[in-house]
Amino acid sequence: MAGFIETLREKNALLFYFGLLCFAGGVVCAILTKTTTLQIIGVSAWLKPAKFFVSIAIFCWSMGWYMQYLDDQKKVDLYNIVLVAGMLYELIVITGQAYRGQLSHFNVSTPMNGLLFTMMGIVITIVTLWTGYIGYLFFAQQSFTIPMTLVWGIRLGIIISVIFAFQGGIMGGMLRHTVGAPDGGPGLPVVNWSRHNGDMRIAHFLGLHALQAIPLLSMAVSKNINYVIAIAVGYTLLVVFTLVQAMQGKPLF
């Protein structure tokens, strides 16, 4: 782990330190879930910011690590700026709305809340499209210093992650993530996924974290590119299954 951190700090200092800041923010918000009483739809107002801080930290560190293998440093540097600016906006809105006792997502209760939510959608779309472009660069570049199985793991991980990032648009259009009931109600610990109705956040979560899962699986279990592709296909089918299950209003757990 120490080697990973040192290399990441050397190769991509901006994403390293921004990710570190996000991890710290996640810890602070996690503490606030236990030390404050403010709630939004039945759970601590600080639970969502805690999850987003940690998730964004993992995303930034993952992309920072992968992009050391790209030759076009100018495009990497530009992506870094877009990513940090976009994620910073998301975190400011999510944390600020939690402080106000307001929903950050699907909240159109006032013009201001609606504007903040709409801008979040625009910003995350820009970041997602840029991430897709980074995926394209991994396809366009022909020579790498790492095994091609890992290259394909990164390529496919980015593609799947980008596809299911856009699944957020379905939830945004519906102004909820629960199918068959209003958002809220009994959920699993920490993630708060619904135990009684369909919850599209499960597919969204699994799809986004293909960014880490597919490369890790490609390194752990395969020395053949065809196996990496098979792993990616199987993973995608699993995520699609959870999405179909949710759209039918059925809980996964």
Whether residue 189 lies inside any domain: the answer is yes
pTM (global) more than 0.85:
yes
For the chain, how are helix, strand and coil distributed in percent, rounded to 5? 70, 5, 25
Q: How many domains does the chain have?
A: 2
Domain hosting residue 241, numbered range: 147-253
54 and 123 together in one domain: yes
pLDDT at 180: 87
206 and 119 together in one domain: no
User: Quick one: three-class SS letters along 224-243?
Assistant: CHHHHHHHHHHHHHHHHHHH
Is 251 exposed, middle or buried (CB count within 10 Å of its CB: 0-12, 13-18, 19+)?
buried
141 and 153 together in one domain: no
Q: How confident is the model at residue 219 (pLDDT cuts 50, 70, 90)?
A: confident
Residue type, 238: L
Is 93 in contact with 25 (CB distance < 8 Å)? no
Pick the range with the lowest mean pLDDT from 6-10, 20-24, 53-57, 88-92.
6-10
**Joined tokens for residue 51:** 């999850």
Whether residue 238 lies inside any domain: the answer is yes
Residue 184 has pLDDT above 90, yes or no: no
pLDDT at 159: 97
Q: In whole angstroms, give the CA distance from residue 186 to residue 116.
A: 27
pLDDT at 1: 73
Mean pLDDT of 17-43: 96
User: Quick one: three-class SS letters along 147-170?
Assistant: CHHHHHHHHHHHHHHHHHHCCHHH
Find all residues with CB under 8 Å of 216, minimum gap 6, and list them: 153
Q: How confident is the model at residue 4 (pLDDT cuts 50, 70, 90)?
A: confident
